Every structure is written in C-alpha cells, then in structure tokens.
C-alpha cells in the first residue's frame, strides 16, 4: 500500500485557554509564548491509521505538511512514529490560505508524488476546524472520499471502513485510490519511540516550492482564498458563577441541590 | 451565476422524517430570504420523501424541490452530490444552508468544491450585510476559543449551520407553496463509496439531544464506574449522560455520548458538568444550556468561568450527597 498522510502544524490546542490571544489589527492568532506548535490532533490519528495499515499489509507512508516556517521537530513527529518520508510544501506563498487554496496545493503535490492508494487526513484541523481539506483534495483529484472514519480494513485492494454518524456508524466499501478523513474514535495515536525519534532526525525532508508542484500562483495561499476573513475575535465571557459553600464538600453539594430548587432550576 | 436569487435549504432527513435541524434551517433561511426580498426554497433528497414537502412548507419554505430516487435510500455521497448539484443548478440560489450533521458536513464541502465556491462549516450566526448584501458567516474557530466572520463573493454562498444555534418559526399548516419534482438522472455506476449497512448503537433511556437535563462527565471521573453514578443521577431527572472527548478516548463510555465540537450539541435546561475542565472544545457542545452547574476540585478550572453555580471539591464526595438531597427535594 502506498499511503499519503496530510498533517498540519497548528498552535497547541491544549495550551491553557487564558494564553489564547487574537491580534485584532492583523486578524491573526498570537502564538502563546513558550508553547511550541504541534501536529493537529486528528492528523496524528490519521498517521496512526496509516501506520496500522502498514503494520498489517506493509507499504510506504509519505507525510505532506503545508505552511511556512515549519518547526522541524514538530513536523517530523509522524516520521518518528513510523512514517517513511516527509514532503514539506513550505513557502511564504502557501501562507494564510483557506480550505480551497490549501486543498488545491496539497492535491497538486499528490499529483507530483504520483502513485498512491490511500490519502489519510484528519477530520478537521485544530485551528480553523473547517473539516474541508480532505474532501477538497478528493474532489480536485476526482477520487472518492469517506469522512469521519473510525475503522479501516483492507482486503483485495478494496477498503471497508466505518463512518461515524450520530447514533452509531455506517459500514462503507470504497475502492482505491481514495481519501479517508479520520476521527478520534479511531483510537489514540502511538507514542514515538526513541529509536523512531533518532531515525527521524536523520531523514531530510523534501521541500517543494510552488513552482515544483506546478501550481497557478494566484490559486494558493492568501491569494487563492475564496472565503474572505472579515474579522477574528474572542467572544467575551462574563464570569458569573456562584460558588456554593459548606462545612465540607458533601454539605456544599447538598446546599447546591437546595439552591437549584430555590432558583427553580429543578 | 450572475442572476443568482434566493435561499436554498437542504433538508436533513433522518429515518424518513425532517430532523429538528431542518426546522431551524428553515427558520433562519426565512429571515435571510425576507432580508433579501427573495424566495426560500427547500430541497428534499431521499427515497419516499415527497410527503415531507408540505411539512417543509409549513415550516417556512415557499417552494419544495423533491428528488425522490431509490438510489438516495441511504447516504451515498456521490449520488447525493449529483442530486444536490442538479437542484442547485435548477435554482441558482445566492445562499445555501446545510445542517452541520453527518450528511451536511460531508456534502456541503463536496458541493462547494464541485461548484468552485466556498463553504463555511458549523456557522453559529448568519446575517445579510446591509451594504454588500453578502452573507456574513460567523463560525467558531480554534476549538471555540475564537470566532471568525467570513464572506464570499462567489455564488452560491454555502454554509453549514450548527444545530440548535437557530430557532424554527412557529409551524403554519395553512401555508401554501409550490412542490417541484426534479429528475436528477442518477445512475448506480456513479456510486463509488458504497453504503453496506448501518450499525446503530442502542440508547437506553432518554436521547441525549432531547434530554431536559444532561449530566456530563470528564477526564476527572477516572474510570467507567464513575459514569454509573452519573447514570443514577440522570435517571432522577429523566435526563441523559454526556461525556468529554478524553473520557471517550479512555474507553470509559461510548462515543455516542460525547458532547462538544466533534460530538453532539445539547441545549438542556440544566447541564451538570462533573469532573470536566470545560475546554472550549467541550463547551462548544453545551454552552447553549439554560443553566450550567459545575462540580470540580480545581477552583481554577475553566468550567467555573462558564457555569452559573458550582462547588469546588471532589466529585466522589459531592455526588452522593447531591443525589441524596435531590431525592428528598424531588420526592
């Protein structure tokens, strides 16, 4: 199996909410000082999904990351987990894109890679939460895509996958080549073993500039946006919590029940 | 699409019925259409769905476009996309509304990429800009830490809408509208990703999305056993138990109970958050609750910035006393 995983570097979503800041003059998030970026959670699970196919059937995993000033230790994590090679679409021209321009550049990079059976993406990225890029890549390449996948079985060149829905899951059969977007119900991504980290340190990522993937420069990054960002802001929260006290926790809890009754909540 | 006109809602149909989100989309779509002074259409895609047209009109639509085809019996994306594209080209709407549901979140981006336009997913507010007449699309981003307002001058402007973020209009059974059947020319050969079967996870008791009281448990529950205590509390209220992603990822409780950005959206009268920190990703699924109560041992936990009432302490000590007192009060 030839596999491609799209993995995005994002500000750490687990950083304390109090450190989250938006610069209204640029409409951009200010990275919290001292908190390094990470691979978006769902993309790490997408790496895990590819690794499990490789564990069972063998194959090669190429990781694609798009951005600018990518932190090598961060984008190499999938390699440390067990992926085979890393291609970076790294250039200022790729920055500040939307789902459309990002999917377009990634699809063009996939075309340059050529041979593949499955492209794995996370269900959505931890920064913009749009959940569109995997679908967009498939639509641009004209191949099928199944979203919100929580299980993948490979047999006879055909995939049988489980897709999450509100009240359970659907079983879907999909031919290769195809795109799968992976959801957290798939399971936890594996830790990168020390041996993997050492191996990853020796792998030199391939960097592709826009000219390398033959993209139309007006269609990538900020220039290629189809959705215009008018305003980015933090919703104002009014802390109004009434803390119910008591001699001990049990008494406070009983007082809480009484309070809810008085306030006609129950 | 220079002559784009009107608003089109793609109905979410679950087990042959209009889902609640569809009535919310029609309520919101009605306001947007009135703001533009144009028509509100609804598209009903499925098998045996023609009978829903009158109901959709009663919820606010002027016209109902029906694609009734056996190939649309189950959700198979390629067939649904072909039908959606056909209806969109027939109407040339300015605005398309989908629900942020398993179908909508899958289909709306496909349609946008197919048509070469943009889509904003999971919108929580929509309005028409008085100057440009473009749709202002507000969605939560960065796991709920921020909000972003998007516009697009490409037609149609497509969005998916977060469930329970919009209100339906009162149903008016006397409303009259036009029903138009559309032949989409679907062909089994266009379906590449084939639906095999659905596996339903049986829910005991009250459905989470409809429960008047939800008891949410998080990482601090520490083990599956804790959730049994939450179940007991939920039964007192005839409510349901919800959970956070860490609780689900630890395997303590089925993923169908997950509340949040990547789980279910609940808006109960009372949400009791037990041993959960109140991350913005979780709050995205429950911040619309009327009253939020927090039980957490960390006084600095974000949940105390979101809650109306709270106690600081270990849930293991709090829960038995709270449940006991409630039994007395509710007796």
Model pLDDT for residues B51-83, shown as the tens digit of each residue: 999 999 999 999 999 999 999 999 999 999 999
- Residue A60: CB partners within 8 Å, gap ≥ 6? A1, A2, A3, A54, A84, A85
* Whether A76 and A160 share a structural domain: yes
Using alpha carbons only, give the angle A79, A83, A87 rounded to the nearest 5 degrees.
Answer: 75
Query: Given CB atoms, is A17 within the 8 Å cutoff of chain B?
Result: yes
d(CA B325, CA A26): 52
d(CA B99, CA B91): 19
Give, for A67, the enclosing helix (H) or strand (E). Answer: strand A60-67
- B-chain residues within 8 Å CB-CB of A125? none
Chain segment B1-39, per-residue pLDDT in tens? 458 999 999 999 999 999 999 999 999 999 999 999 999
* Whether A216 and A115 share a structural domain: yes
Q: Which domain CATH number covers A39?
A: 3.40.50.620
d(CA B270, CA B307): 11
d(CA B216, CA B159): 29
* Whether A165 and A244 share a structural domain: no
Q: Do residue B320 and residue A257 have CB atoms under 8 angstroms apart?
A: no
How many C-beta neighbours within 10 Å does residue A215 have? Answer: 23
Is A51 within a domain? yes
* Whether A141 and A254 share a structural domain: no
* Whether A218 and A261 share a structural domain: no
Chain segment B261-320, per-residue pLDDT in tens? 989 999 999 999 999 999 989 999 999 999 999 999 999 999 999 999 999 999 999 999
Q: Based on the structure, what is the number of domains in chain A? A: 2
Helix (H, G, I), strand (E, B) or coil at A9: strand
Is A101 within a domain? yes
d(CA B168, CA A96): 36
* Whether A174 and A264 share a structural domain: no
Q: Which residue has 């981003």 as its token pair?
A: B141
Is A230 within a domain? no
Q: Do residue B154 and residue A226 have CB atoms under 8 angstroms apart?
A: yes
Q: Which of A153, A159, A227 to mutate to test the interface with B (most CBs of B within 10 A)?
A: A227
> Counting beta carbons within 10 angstroms of the beta carbon of residue B207, is it exposed (0 to 12), middle (13 to 18) or buried (19 or more)?
exposed
Is A202 within a domain? yes
What is the residue range of A261's domain?
236-266
Is A113 within a domain? yes
Q: Which residue has 């009162």 as its token pair?
A: B170
> Counting beta carbons within 10 angstroms of the beta carbon of residue A70, is it exposed (0 to 12), middle (13 to 18) or buried (19 or more)?
buried
Is A108 within a domain? yes
For B321, which of A163, A184, A250 is closest by C-beta distance? A250
Give, for B17, the enclosing helix (H) or strand (E). Answer: strand B17-18
* Whether A240 and A218 share a structural domain: no
Q: What is the pLDDT of residue A33?
A: 87
Query: Given CB atoms, is B132 within the 8 Å cutoff of chain A?
Result: no
Q: What is the pLDDT of residue B2?
A: 55
- Domains of chain B, with CATH numbers? 7-190 (3.40.50.620), 208-330 (3.40.50.1220)
Using CA coordinates, name the residue in chain A closest to B307: A241
Chain segment A40-50, per-residue pLDDT in tens? 999 999 999 99
* Whether A76 and A161 share a structural domain: yes
Judge contact between A117 and A148, C-beta under 8 A: no
Structure tokens at A45: 């699970």
3-state helix, strand, coil in chain A (%, to 5): 35, 30, 35
Structure tokens at B163: 């469930």
* Nearest CA-CA distance, residue A67 and chain B, Å: 17
Judge contact between B19 and B12, C-beta under 8 A: yes
* Whether A208 and A87 share a structural domain: yes
- Concatenated DSSP letters of A158-184: EEEEEEEETTEEEEEEEESSEEEEE-G
* Nearest CA-CA distance, residue A147 and chain B, Å: 7
Section B200-207 average pLDDT: 85
Q: What is the pLDDT of residue A238?
A: 76
Q: Which residue has 């490979």 as its token pair?
A: A154
Chain segment B75-119, per-residue pLDDT in tens? 999 999 999 999 999 999 999 999 999 999 999 999 999 999 999
Is A36 within a domain? yes
> Following CA atoms B103, B108, B110, B111 in sequence, which dihedral angle do they give, to the nearest 10 degrees?
130
**Which 121-140 residues of chain A touch chain B by CB within 8 A?**
123-124, 126-132, 135-136, 139-140
For B198, which of A131, A170, A240 is closest by C-beta distance? A170
* Whether A72 and A132 share a structural domain: yes
Chain segment A78-122, per-residue pLDDT in tens? 999 999 999 999 999 999 999 999 999 999 999 999 999 999 999
Q: Do residue A166 and residue B147 have CB atoms under 8 angstroms apart?
A: no
* Whether A31 and A117 share a structural domain: yes
For B329, which of A132, A167, A257 is closest by C-beta distance? A257
- Residue B245: CB partners within 8 Å, gap ≥ 6? A184, B258, B260, B262, B263, B281, B282
Residue A27 has pLDDT above 60, yes or no: yes
* Whether A193 and A262 share a structural domain: no
Query: Given CB atoms, is B141 within the 8 Å cutoff of chain A?
Result: yes
Is A229 within a domain? no
Q: What is the pLDDT of residue B220?
A: 97
With bands split at pLDDT 50, 70 and 90, how would you rate the model's confidence at A235?
confident
Query: Given CB atoms, is B298 within the 8 Å cutoff of chain A?
Result: no
- A-chain residues within 8 Å CB-CB of B270? 260, 265-266
Q: Do residue B193 and residue A166 have CB atoms under 8 angstroms apart?
A: no
Query: Given CB atoms, is B117 within the 8 Å cutoff of chain A?
Result: yes
């Amino acid at each position: 199996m030839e596999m491609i995983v799209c993995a995005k570097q994002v500000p750490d979503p687990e950083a304390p909410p109090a450190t989250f800041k938006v610069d209204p003059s640029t409409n951009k998030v200010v990275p919290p000082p001292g908190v390094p970026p990470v691979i978006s959670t769902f993309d790490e699970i997408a790496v895990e999904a590819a690794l499990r196919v490789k564990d069972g059937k063998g194959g090669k995993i190429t990781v694609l990351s798009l951005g600018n000033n990518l932190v090598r230790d961060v984008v190499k994590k999938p390699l440390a987990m067990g992926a085979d090679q890393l291609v970076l679409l790294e250039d200022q021209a790729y920055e500040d894109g939307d789902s459309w321009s990002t999917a377009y550049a990634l699809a063009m990079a996939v075309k340059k890679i050529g041979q593949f059976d499955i492209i794995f993406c996370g269900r959505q990225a931890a920064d913009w939460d749009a959940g569109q890029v995997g679908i967009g890549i498939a639509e641009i390449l004209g191949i099928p895509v199944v979203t919100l996948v929580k299980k993948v079985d490979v047999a006879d060149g055909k995939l049988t996958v489980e897709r999450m829905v509100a009240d359970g899951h659907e079983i879907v059969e999909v031919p290769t080549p195809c795109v799968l977007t992976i959801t957290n119900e798939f399971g936890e991504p594996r830790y990168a073993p020390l041996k993997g980290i050492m191996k990853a340190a020796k792998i030199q990522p391939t960097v592709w500039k826009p000219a390398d993937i033959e993209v139309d420069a007006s269609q990538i990054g900020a220039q290629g946006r189809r959705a215009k960002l008018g305003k980015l802001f933090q919703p104002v929260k009014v802390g109004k919590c009434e803390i119910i006290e008591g001699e001990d926790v049990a008494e406070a809890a009983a007082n809480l029940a009484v309070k809810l009754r008085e306030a006609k909540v129950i | 699409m220079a002559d784009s006109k009107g608003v089109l809602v793609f109905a979410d149909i679950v087990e042959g019925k209009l889902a609640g989100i569809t009535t919310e989309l029609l309520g919101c779509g009605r306001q947007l259409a009135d703001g533009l002074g144009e028509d509100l259409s609804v598209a009903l895609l499925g098998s045996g769905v023609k009978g829903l047209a009158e109901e959709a009109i009663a919820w606010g639509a002027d016209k109902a476009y029906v694609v009734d085809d056996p190939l649309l019996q189950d959700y198979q994306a390629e067939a649904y996309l072909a039908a959606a594209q056909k209806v969109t080209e027939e109407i040339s709407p300015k605005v398309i509304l989908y629900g942020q549901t398993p179908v909508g979140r899958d289909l709306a981006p496909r349609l946008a990429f197919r048509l070469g336009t943009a889509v904003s997913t999971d919108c929580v507010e929509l309005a028409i800009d008085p100057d440009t007449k473009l749709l202002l699309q507000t969605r939560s981003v960065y796991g709920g830490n921020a909000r972003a307002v998007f516009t697009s001058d490409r037609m149609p402007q497509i969005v998916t809408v977060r469930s329970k973020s919009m209100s339906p209009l009162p149903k008016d059974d006397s409303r009259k509208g036009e029903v138009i059947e559309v032949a989409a020319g679907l062909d089994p050969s266009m379906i590449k990703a084939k639906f095999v079967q659905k596996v339903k996870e049986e829910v005991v008791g009250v459905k989470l999305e409809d429960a008047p009281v939800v008891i949410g448990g998080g990482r601090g529950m520490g083990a599956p056993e804790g959730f049994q205590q939450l179940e007991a509390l939920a039964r007192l209220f005839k409510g349901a138990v919800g959970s956070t992603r860490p609780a689900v990822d630890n395997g303590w409780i089925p993923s169908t109970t997950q509340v949040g950005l990547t789980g279910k959206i609940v808006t109960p009268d009372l949400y009791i958050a037990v041993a959960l920190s109140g991350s913005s990703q979780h709050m995205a699924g429950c911040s619309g609750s009327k009253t939020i109560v927090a039980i957490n041992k960390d006084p600095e936990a974000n949940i105390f910035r979101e809650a109306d009432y709270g106690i600081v302490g270990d849930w293991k000590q709090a829960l038995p006393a709270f449940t006991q007192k409630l039994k007395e009060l509710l007796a």
